C-alpha cells in the first residue's frame, strides 16, 4: 500500500488536523521525514498552506486542534504542538498547549525545527491572571503601589491606559499614573476587559 493510501485509510480520507475532506495531500512533517506514513500526515490545502506560510495564519481555523491534538498518531501530535506554539499569543491556544502531553521522543521531534523553541524564548508579558498583555492595552492595578522617586501611591483599582511593554523584561510594563510615566510590575496588574 502506498503512503497516500495508508494515510487515507488511517484518517478516513479527512484532514488529520481540521477534518476537511477537500484538496487533501501528503504533508511530510519536517525536519527529516523519510516519506513514510509514520512521518507524514494527510492535510487539506488550507492547513498545508498555513503550516508552510506563517504569515497567512487564520487563527480561528486552528481551533480544530482542540480535537486533533488528541490523535494517537505522533506526526499529528507534532504538528498540533507546533501550531499551538505558533498561536501561543491566543489564550485558547495556550490553554490547549498546557493540556497537550507528548512523550519524550515525540516532543523532541516537535522541537526539532527550532520553531517552537524560538516562540518559547520570545518575551511575553502576562498579567496577574496569566492573560497576555500587548502594547496599548488598559490594565487595572490590583495593589496599592508606592511609586519611588515620585512621592505618591498608585491606588488599587487605578486604570492605566495605553501601556507600553519593556522589550527585554517580561515582568515590566510602563504606563502613566497621576501624570507620571512609571514602570509597573506585571504581577500587580490585571488586563481590563
pLDDT digits (tens, 9 = 90+) for 6-36: 999 999 999 999 999 999 999 999 887 788 9
Q: Find the mean pLDDT for residues 104-123.
A: 69
The correct CATH number of 139-191 out of 2.60.120, 1.10.3470, 2.30.31, 2.30.30 is 2.30.30
Domain locations along the chain: 3-121, 139-191
Q: What angle do CA 124, 127, 133 make, to 5 degrees?
A: 50
H/E segment holding residue 25: strand 24-28
138 SS3 class: coil
Sign of CA pseudo-dihedral 18, 24, 29, 30: negative
Q: Are the C-beta atoms of 25 and 48 separated by less than 8 Å? A: yes
Length of the chain: 193
Q: Find the mean pLDDT for residues 152-158.
A: 92
pTM score, whole prediction: 0.58
Q: Are the C-beta atoms of 36 and 2 separated by less than 8 Å? A: no
Q: Find the mean pLDDT for residues 95-101.
A: 90
Distance in angstroms (rounded) separating the CA atoms of residues 117 and 82? 10
Mean pLDDT computed over every residue of the chain: 88
Q: Is residue 118 over pLDDT 60? A: no
Distance in angstroms (rounded) separating the CA atoms of residues 170 and 147? 20
Confidence of residue 75 (pLDDT cuts 50, 70, 90): very high
Amino acid at each position: 500500500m502506498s503512503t497516500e493510501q495508508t494515510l487515507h485509510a488511517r484518517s478516513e480520507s479527512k484532514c488529520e488536523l481540521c477534518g476537511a475532506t477537500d484538496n487533501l495531500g501528503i504533508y511530510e512533517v519536517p525536519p527529516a521525514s523519510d516519506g513514510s506514513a509514520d512521518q507524514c500526515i494527510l492535510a487539506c490545502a488550507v492547513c498545508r498552506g498555513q503550516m508552510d506560510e506563517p504569515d497567512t495564519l487564520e487563527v480561528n481555523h486552528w481551533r480544530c486542534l482542540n480535537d486533533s491534538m488528541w490523535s494517537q498518531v505522533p506526526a499529528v501530535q507534532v504538528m498540533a504542538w507546533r501550531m499551538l506554539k505558533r498561536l501561543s499569543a491566543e489564550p485558547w491556544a495556550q490553554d490547549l498547549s498546557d493540556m497537550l502531553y507528548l512523550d519524550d521522543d515525540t516532543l523532541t521531534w516537535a522541537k526539532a525545527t527550532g520553531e517552537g523553541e524560538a516562540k518559547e524564548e520570545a518575551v511575553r508579558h502576562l498579567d496577574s491572571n496569566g492573560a497576555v498583555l500587548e502594547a496599548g492595552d488598559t490594565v487595572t492595578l490590583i495593589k496599592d503601589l508606592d511609586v519611588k522617586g515620585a512621592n505618591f501611591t498608585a491606588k488599587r483599582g487605578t486604570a492605566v491606559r495605553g501601556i507600553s511593554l519593556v522589550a527585554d523584561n517580561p515582568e515590566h510594563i510602563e504606563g502613566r499614573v497621576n501624570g507620571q510615566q512609571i514602570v509597573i510590575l506585571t504581577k500587580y496588574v490585571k488586563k481590563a476587559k
